[in-house]
Chain A
């Protein structure tokens, strides 16, 4: 069973979450549902600091034993920090996708775009539909 999707952040249909930290920056990761589908994450390719990514552009890559999956930027943004813990412990995403398994801290081009994404309730329904 997936962990509940926290209400303090927004979601993309590609199963990323983004959480505005109030200081003009935001954290991005993949959802617990996404890590469940991937299972066994064994490698994370992190973006370079300063990289600018358009909304829907590739921000990072997560690999399981069998698969390679892009992580997309839910909004246009610039990377200001990455979770270097993932270099040695990619399984943090499996263990805690919404917390210590965060992937990048970014400066959104337009913070208002975040609220245009899905709420946790919308994302709950998306997963329910996918599971049917």
Chain B
């Protein structure tokens, strides 16, 4: 298994390590619920070094991304982050990634860990095909990343950087120093709380981790693992690539229609348009269990006697104290309020389609 630069720190903290797509990652340190609650109520830090970073630079960097990605990036300013999709020729989602505009001719794409190679090859093939004048480089191994998430994230981070954090809005980033190391600091995350994603050279990320965890003691900071990351993202209905969507999934079937800008040309557009014009026959919806049990990934969903879909993500929600999940269901069953049943082991448990997200933080 591949190890992140923070691996030894996880061992020292007695983390439970799992294989996450070929990476040895901490799933939990002291307990998922404790780490989850620390993120909702105080602050937590996550090792996200496994995610990929691809740099695109050169005179036609923007032209390449405009054609490769579904989102119209023409209006994106330096210092802004955009979420976008990379589609295959069948209109299926290769990756949902974030685009950092570093300069007018330089971008960094932050990819899902397991999608890094696919993204790189897709971008290279588009570049070669269209003869765009730019360079594409996978810089993932040079970059480490930690996420600092929670209502007290800013208070804590203020101790380690001179940047004026008040003026850094959601989905804005800056190049600055964190704990004296060169870093990209972005106000964003995957937990539904206020917080930051911090990128730094791989050999400096350990220092940042140490400074955050020691300065964090007084703020109730906990290191948090992938277990809490999963419950936190699911409560906010943030999808997980490879689980809630695959390369077979159209953006319109999940909650990503808003990321497709139909007014421009992009790779996979013909197929995506065909789906749009034909209409979708299944849709990703949120559900909560009204009967006993926790629905998990892969469990079957029924409407009466008829199979109506499959659970893509399911868990016990620590914030809401009930079982929730996402499922792909027939479009006829997608309306909020629809009563369904889910097969848990050998019995049917009742569930209900609900509006997303399950949880939304109250903004101050």
Chain A positions within 8 Å of B, measured between CB atoms, are 39-40, 42-43, 45, 61, 63-66, 68, 87
Contact = CB atoms under 8 A, between A and B. Distances in A.
Given A65-B231, A65-B315, A42 B294 contact: yes
A63 B345 contact: no
Nearest to B226: A66
17 contacts: A39-B28, A40-B31, A40-B33, A43-B292, A43-B294, A43-B316, A43-B323, A45-B345, A63-B316, A65-B32, A65-B33, A65-B231, A65-B316, A66-B227, A66-B315, A68-B296, A87-B292
Interface string B234-250: 00000000000000000
B187 to A, nearest CB: 28
A61 B34 CA distance: 23
Contacts of A65: 32-33, 36, 227, 231, 315-316, 318
B326 interface: no
B230 interface: yes
A63 B32 CA distance: 13
Contacts of A63: 294, 316
A39 B31 contact: yes
A23 B298 CA distance: 43
B153 interface: no
Nearest to A90: B316
Contact of A66 (B32, B34, B323): B32
A16 to B, nearest CB: 19
B27 interface: yes
Interface of B: 27-28, 31-34, 36, 227, 230-231, 292-294, 296, 315-316, 318, 323, 344-345
Given A43-B294, A43-B316, A45-B293, A66 B230 contact: yes
Main secondary structure of the interface of A (DSSP, over half): strand
Contacts of A68: 294, 296
Contact of B345 (A42, A61, A64, A66): A61
Given A43-B293, A43-B316, A45-B345, A66 B27 contact: yes
Nearest to A39: B31
Contacts of B27: 66
Contacts, number: 39
Pick from A39, A63, A64, A66 the residue with the most CB of B within 10 Å: A66
Contacts of B28: 39, 66
A68 to B, nearest CB: 7
Contacts of A40: 31-34
A42 B227 CA distance: 14
B297 to A, nearest CB: 11
A43 B318 CA distance: 12
Contact of B316 (A42, A45, A61): A42
Contacts of B345: 45, 61
A63 B231 CA distance: 14
Interface pairs A-B: 7 shortest CB-CB:
A42-B316, A65-B32, A39-B31, A40-B33, A66-B227, A40-B31, A43-B294
A85 to B, nearest CB: 15
Contacts of B31: 39-40
Nearest to A58: B345
A39 B30 CA distance: 8
Contacts of B294: 42-43, 63, 68
Contacts of A39: 28, 31-32
A64 B32 contact: yes
A122 to B, nearest CB: 26
Contacts of A42: 33, 294, 316
Nearest to B227: A66
Contacts of B230: 66
Nearest to A37: B16
A39 B344 CA distance: 21
A45 B345 CA distance: 10
Interface centre among B27, B293, B294, by most A CB within 10 Å? B294
